[in-house]
Each structure stands twice: as C-alpha cells, then as structure tokens.
Structure 1
C-alpha cells in the first residue's frame, strides 16, 4: 500500500526552519506508517498533517472506536507533542 494515498504533509510556512519542516515530515511519515500497521483502521481514509510536532488527523472513519484508536496510535509516535483529532464518522 502506498503511503502517498494518505495525504498530508508538513506546512510550507516560510517562517519555519528547514529542520522543523523535516522533523514534521518525518513525524507525519511515522504516524502514517503506524496507522497503516493497525489492522482496525482503514488508513487510506485518514489524512495526517504535522506542524511543530502537533499532528492533525482528518478524514472519515466507520466508527467512534476508530476515531479513538487513530488518535491513540498517533500519540505513540516519537516526536508527537499532541494530536488534534478531526476525524468524522461516515
């Protein structure tokens, strides 16, 4: 499965350093990989974006349990400062 399908990337804010952008991109990739690795989630329906270590999850999932699971999985990734969970039920 291609991780490119999951969407999201680090912000292109010119005020941010290259190191911040690289760190955020790495966190985004790790969160996406963790979501793909969870058999309970349909990771292709979850978008991930990271800004200054704050991960935003968006998209649609099939259950309230999936909303909670996605946030829990994201929080386990090293470098994640907090998770903004904007997932919605289908």
Structure 2
C-alpha cells in the first residue's frame, strides 16, 4: 500500500514539474498541446513504473516521449536491466513504440 501511494505521489509530482517547468512550450508543427500533455503523461507513467521496479535504476535512465514514441537513454548495469526498462516502457498505456538507446556499462 505504501509503495503504491509513493508511486502515485511521485507520478503526480513529476507530472506537475514537467508542466510547470515547460508550460505550453509547443513548437509550431511539432505537436499539439493535447498530444504534448499526453506525451508528458506517458513519460511520467514510465518513470513511475521504473521507480517501483527494483531491477531498474530510474535515476540512470532518461525517458522522453514524442507522439507516443518513448525514447530511452542513459546507462544500465546489465543487459537484463536494459531489457527490463524497455519492457516497462512497452507495457505502459498509450505507448506506440519504444526506441531503446540505453548503453550497458561494462
């Protein structure tokens, strides 16, 4: 119960931080305000799931979303961690595709 509450709180705070720091920074012809908000929600959901999963270092992996496509980057300690991060992203609601650019550190 406490983990769920913590994950929800983290999700809300991350979402609010994204909206506050970027405002409505939508560039013409890039994406609409609605899709920008949807992408922010996807990013927040992926990061929250990673924070809950002990096998993935949420702080070492960056998540960005554009038009439903999630871009993962950063560093993983193993191929299993890289694969798990991709699996988490793919299994998040409204994700259309995942580009996994995570580098496995030797």
- Smaller-chain TM-score bracket: 0.7 to 0.9
> 2:83 aligned with 1:56, yes or no?
no
2:47 is paired with a residue whose SS is helix
- Cα displacement (A) at 1:18: 0.4
Give unmatched runs, 5+ long, in structure 1. none
| Residue aligning to 1:43 | 58
Query: For the residues of structure 2 that align with 1:67 and 1:12, how far apart are their CA atoms?
Result: 30
| Residue aligning to 1:78 | 93
- Cα displacement (A) at 1:14: 2.4
| Residue aligning to 1:33 | 48
Answer 1 or 2: higher relative contact order, Cα 8 Å, separation at least 6. Answer: 1
Q: Would the aligned equivalents of 2:26 and 2:32 in 1 still touch at CA under 8 Å?
A: no
**Paired residue total:** 87
> 2:28 aligned with 1:14, yes or no?
yes
Query: Scaled by the length of structure 1, what TM-score is found?
Result: 0.85
What CA deviation, in whole Å up to 9, does each residue of 1:28-76 have, x standing for no partner? 0000001111110111000000000000000001000111000001111
- Cα displacement (A) at 1:13: 3.4
> 2:102 aligned with 1:87, yes or no?
yes
